[in-house]
Chains A and B, each alone.
Chain A
């Protein structure tokens, strides 16, 4: 947990002509689960998109394993809030999408493994429009994991799901993360989600976003959402964001 996987130095970025990120400095460690929270529209997604290579940096640098990021890369997979499963492909062909370089037998084995891992067994031949929102999102996570990426970028991946499905998906993601130990950068607007999942929570300011604070969450999983230490760090993050906890 000490090697810096992602190094962000003096990063600034603009989106649609507006300054969105300002002097972001951050190291993300290999195998770490980092959540990024901040006020609505502050630039959380932009940060993730720049690190992921989908948007250019205006100043500063992003390096991964010492190499500057030049664009999207199959070694680092982005999971979006809106479903990006390919609607013309079945579940198994979606999950196998990034595996065309493998021999058919190995591809099939890999697809089978991840179909089971995300609980989509029995739906291999189903098309996305035959699935629920949660199943589509699990298919997307499986497609991302199947290429065995170093890093997962997740941009409010469960934001569009209903409450119960969201809770189930968090549990699933933690289970998978414990098995696979990917580095995860996870943007969310939900403080509870961040405190439940993350090793560290990065709190951004309003636009242009700077890093306000970083909270270490040393509570072992599974986390008790009623435990004093959980509530304590949750309160401190809400304070940092200036959110009232009495309504």
Chain B
């Protein structure tokens, strides 16, 4: 009899994002100034302020998220990261052998740092007063962030979709909200299908452009046109290929994000993601244009626009009440991993 009632209790709770570009611009510029004046030390506090603003502006079912990262912990992580990265670069300049040793060393600790960073990020996020968390083991981190990528390199990248699925499965099944685990059920096959579809569209567009572009260039040479128009035609063809690359990248982003979030759930509550290619491309292109034209001043507006679109395309299909989650007994995690991952600019959200 429960089964009969189920459809009626599902309620679509869309995420809303209330941050605005103009308000974030003010936070961003003050952060930037203080970071420069303090030679980067303030950047840890800047990160906390930015995240607090963004998290507190993200609403789900009437409640907002909260960021709890501690600036001093982040600063320590960043200092460790700067030392590590500087040592790595200097080692390569001094001798290739020393560089190689540092490379192996970095490869050996990075998976551990990425794992710690995931823990830090989630532990410091809360919703309705309950913190998220991340479990997993060092063994898993080394398997998914070191062993499988190495294996993938030896198979010419043919394992990329498999690797991607395994990484996301690791991330999404080890994530917790309080004491409740997230679940992930996208299959390896669905990742291969998405990658193949993307490549088919990418190659088809490229072939179409090449046929059109090369054809027109050959035509211009054959009709003995003057030099400038030949070069113009060639440049136009190259430009069109670049533009195509820029148009298909958002396609990949939308397909992958939709695949991942449409197969993620929190207990009985399913997530849904509805990004579209057209809108994503439009936002990315106009953001890039805006930033270039304003010499970077548009950056905060661009970030808010992109975040707002990505977040608001996601919803939670709440299956009953959201009142039943219970906090876990967690412990504080170090921010070293977070610092390195920050500086190396990994995007773990995809």
| A in complex with B | no
Which A residues fall within an 8 A CB radius of B? none
